A = this chain, B = another copy of it.
């Protein structure tokens, strides 16, 4: 869309015909596999590697998308929300190029980018049960070129567990605060650091936790400024947004 003027210039100069221009607008930006339209320009347009949301896709569909991507020159792809069986099937077909991580239920096809962000991203969890979400966030951030510091099981009921990591928290460019139950971690962390905080409510808890609703509401109402929130259990979204923030550069020269 940002290339409309460029395209018009080519039309004017006769470089391409009107029909061709219309065709370009229609065919280029994605490859249509029938069941999915693969966006090949996003890496360029949005400055990030491609990601496949694996839930609700068969192993076969994922393999076909990965192969189509490779053909188009996409070197590395992150696949989230798969499971052990799907992962095994993909590994069998694609070989060593695909590495699966059991905790986060995610896999990476190709190489991970070298860290090139402004600083490290700290991933903090309230409890042990938050680990799958935390690892999805961490892996996503690493895949997108960020250094990650992991601080796990540091819930606010034992403040000293969190305070003992003050140095690492202060050194981070972005903090991802992950908690289920009452989600108080986001507010406490938000009050301690001066960098952006992304809060991830998890579905950990029972009864009136209502599958993460309690933590979600708590985080949205955080009394600490500088906290924004993503969907329940959305480790990927937190890692992705954190990476965007961590790659901020001065725009005006």
Contacts and interface: CB of A to CB of B under 8 A. Distances in A.
Contact of A126 (B152, B209, B215, B223): B223
Q: Could you say how many copies of this chain the assembly holds?
A: 8
A18 B12 contact: yes
Contacts of A12: 11-12, 14, 17-18
A182 interface: yes
Interface residues of A, number: 118
Interface stretch (A82-90, A92-100, A245-253): A245-253
Contact of A154 (B37, B157, B160): B37
A56 interface: yes
A246 to B, nearest CB: 7
A249 B247 CA distance: 9
Contact of A241 (B8, B46, B227): B227
Given A25-B164, A128-B57, A160-B1, A240 B226 contact: yes
Contact of A2 (B11, B55, B166, B173): B166
A207 B233 contact: yes
